[in-house]
A = this chain, B = another copy of it.
Amino acid sequence: MSKKLSANTIDLLNRPTIVQSAAVGGKKEGEGPLGSYFDIINEDSLFGEDTWEKAESTMQKTVVNKALEKANLKSTDMDFIFAGDLLNQCIGSSYGLRDLDIPFIGLYGACSTMAESLTMASIFADNGLANYAMAVTSSHFCTAERQFRFPLEYGGQRTPTAQWTATASGAAIVAPNGDGPFVKSVTIGKIRDFGITDVNNMGAAMAPAAYYTIKTHLEDTATQPSDYDLILTGDLGQVGTDLLIDLLMRDNIDISKQHNDCGLLLYDLEKQDVHAGGSGCGCSASTLCGYILPKMRQGKLNNILFIATGALMSTTSVQQNQSIPGIAHCLNISTQR
What is A's interface to B at a CB cutoff of 8 Å? Answer: 1-4, 7-8, 10, 51, 53-54, 79-80, 84, 86-91, 94-95, 97-98, 101-110, 116, 120, 123, 127-130, 147, 188-191, 193, 312-317, 320, 322, 325, 327
Contact = CB atoms under 8 A, between A and B. Distances in A.
Given A79-B4, A129-B123, A191-B97, A108 B87 contact: no
B313 A91 contact: yes
B80 A188 contact: yes
A320 B88 CA distance: 14
Contacts of A87: 314, 316
29 contacts: A1-B1, A1-B127, A2-B128, A2-B129, A4-B129, A8-B103, A53-B316, A84-B106, A84-B108, A87-B314, A87-B316, A88-B89, A88-B314, A88-B315, A89-B110, A89-B312, A89-B314, A90-B108, A91-B314, A94-B312, A94-B313, A98-B191, A102-B190, A103-B188, A104-B191, A104-B327, A105-B120, A108-B108, A123-B129
B313 A89 contact: yes
Contacts of A54: 320, 322
Nearest to A191: B98
A102 B7 CA distance: 9
Nearest to A132: B7
Contacts of A98: 191, 193, 312, 325
Given A3-B128, A107-B108, 13 more contacts: A2-B127, A4-B79, A8-B103, A84-B108, A89-B312, A89-B313, A95-B312, A95-B317, A98-B325, A104-B327, A105-B120, A106-B116, A123-B127
Contacts of A8: 79-80, 103
A145 B94 CA distance: 22
A320 B53 contact: yes
Nearest to A123: B129
Task: Please provide the 3 A-B residue pairs with the shortest distance between their CB atoms, ordered closest to farther.
Answer: A94-B312, A8-B103, A89-B314
Nearest to A84: B108
Contacts of A191: 94, 97-98, 104
A57 to B, nearest CB: 9
A325 B57 CA distance: 13
A147 B116 CA distance: 26
A109 B87 CA distance: 14
B317 A103 contact: no
A103 B4 CA distance: 13
Contacts of A90: 108, 312
Contacts of A4: 79, 128-130
Nearest to A327: B104
Contacts of A313: 89, 91, 94
Contacts of A2: 127-129
A74 to B, nearest CB: 12
A120 B314 CA distance: 25
